[in-house]
Amino acid sequence: MLSDYIKFSFDSLRHRKLRSWLTMIGIFIGIAAVVALISISQGMQTTITEQFEMMGTNKIMVMPGGGAMFGMFGGGELNADDLDAVGKADGVDISAEMYYESGNIKFSDETKNTFIIGLPTDETLEIIENMQGFDIEKGRDLKSGDRYKITIGWLLWEGDFFEKSVDLRDKVEIEGQEFSVVGLVSRIGNNADDSQVYIPLETAREILDEPKEISTIFVEIKESYEVDDVAENIKEELRDSRDEDEGEETFSVQTFEQLLEQFNDILGIVSIVLIGIAAISIVVGGVGIMNTMYTSVLERTKEIGIMKAVGAKNSNVMTLFLIESGMIGLAGGIIGIGIGIGLSKIVEIIAAQAGLLPIKAYLGAPLLLGALAFSFIIGAASGTLPAMQASKMKPVDALRYE
């Protein structure tokens, strides 16, 4: 019986090709947008989670300001006293400082502005590199005794930051001081990080004229300690050292789990808003299906009368029209899924070529099957009222309809 319903509905749609295609437009545009947005946002969440897991969950960052992400725009300052206070906190194994500021870098008569990262050259350098993803692909890392040596981001030696690529042993100038390139940093995955340059911390303080300020303090905790407990210990030490009350701190202590939650919250809000906008198209598509099914009922009034005259029940007629409207939604969903997959893959390729955070679009079975089910349900729901109208027709009236 079900196969007969499907065959009958398919034949009806096939005889009204143009109308069926026009009716599907709203559905497949909406489904394509939803599939693309969900796959991209899920892919971004997966990528970000993997990045944080690679850095390690036993790490903490201390930044100036009252909670700005990564301390980039947090205001306030950290200094050597804060570094000492952090090192005294119970559970802290290693604490490392980093100072950065934007500055001019010149190579081959071409000058550009980028971030100058001042890094320690002792054993604490490793914790910063692990947390920030700085890996040397060619040459060597900064080491003790280096003064005017520099390692450069991927875009400087492999990309198009300068017209000419910078290589090992080349000379570059930062704020008028000449440096020799000793290391090429591997690709991190976004243009901001991949265009940075790295010099010894004390040299950075010298040429940027900032003898005391610390931009970020990186912390690795001891084994058997809980990250959240150590974070609270650090806060207490810094409050005592800076003579600040709880809730009025001019610093921020964040674990990677907290940072990950912030990213996921932001992505979640953005995804909901965008999917909500895309859902408008699906609603429009549903209205189109309803309009088409009302027209179909009017066109097939005599056909409905004949079916009832030969014994078809109201439920049979209603099921027939519900399946037909559901098939319109399902066909639109299939096309929409195909377009959505294509869009998400295009975004994935563009992100990779642009040097942004690498995105692997999520295209799992739950998303694709859910989109198919949703499109069928939307179609069937949109055809409910026309199907009810068709099922309630009296055979005599239907057969006399012109």
Nearest to 330 by CA among 278, 379, 294, 283: 379
Give the pLDDT confidence score for residue 74 in this predicted structure: 47
Assess whether 272 and 225 both reside in one domain. no
Assess whether 83 and 225 both reside in one domain. yes
Assess whether 226 and 81 both reside in one domain. yes
Nearest to 131 by CA among 58, 47, 232: 58
Assess whether 86 and 206 both reside in one domain. yes
Low-confidence ranges of the chain (pLDDT < 70): 1-18, 53-56, 66-76, 354-358, 396-402
Question: Which of 208, 226, 249 represents a domain boundary (last residue)?
Answer: 249
pTM: 0.66
Tens-place pLDDT, residues 70-80: 444 445 689 99
Give the pLDDT confidence score for residue 68 in this predicted structure: 47
Assess whether 115 and 200 both reside in one domain. yes
Asked if residues 195 and 180 have their Cβ atoms less than 8 Å apart, the reply is no
Query: Is 64 a member of any domain?
Result: no
Report the number of distinct structural domains present in the chain: 2
Query: Is 385 a member of any domain?
Result: yes
Assess whether 315 and 222 both reside in one domain. no
Query: Is 389 a member of any domain?
Result: yes
Give the pLDDT confidence score for residue 357 in this predicted structure: 63
Query: Is 66 a member of any domain?
Result: no
SS (HEC) of the chain: CHHHHHHHHHHHHHHCHHHHHHHHHHHHHHHHHHHHHHHHHHHHHHHHHHHHHHHCCCEEEEEECCCCHHHCCCCCCECHHHHHHHHHCCCEEEEEEEEEEEEEEEECCEEEEEEEEEECCCCCHHHHHHHHCCCEEEECCCCCCCCCEEEECHHHHCCCCCCCCCCCCCEEEECCEEEEEEEEECCCCCHHHHCCEEEEHHHHHHHCCCCCCECEEEEEECCCCCHHHHHHHHHHHHHHHHCCCCCCCCEEEEEHHHHHHHHHHHHHHHHHHHHHHHHHHHHHHHHHHHHHHHHHHHHCHHHHHHHHHCCCCHHHHHHHHHHHHHHHHHHHHHHHHHHHHHHHHHHHHHHHHCCCCCCCCCCCHHHHHHHHHHHHHHHHHHCHHHHHHHHCCCHHHHHHCC
Query: Is 117 a member of any domain?
Result: yes
Question: Which of 217, 249, 281 represents a domain boundary (last residue)?
Answer: 249
Assess whether 152 and 245 both reside in one domain. yes
Range of the domain at 318: 2-52+261-400
Q: C-alpha distances in angstroms, 60 versus 45, 78, 137, 221?
A: 21, 15, 26, 8
Assess whether 20 and 95 both reside in one domain. no
Interatomic CA distance for residues 142 and 184, integer angstroms: 11
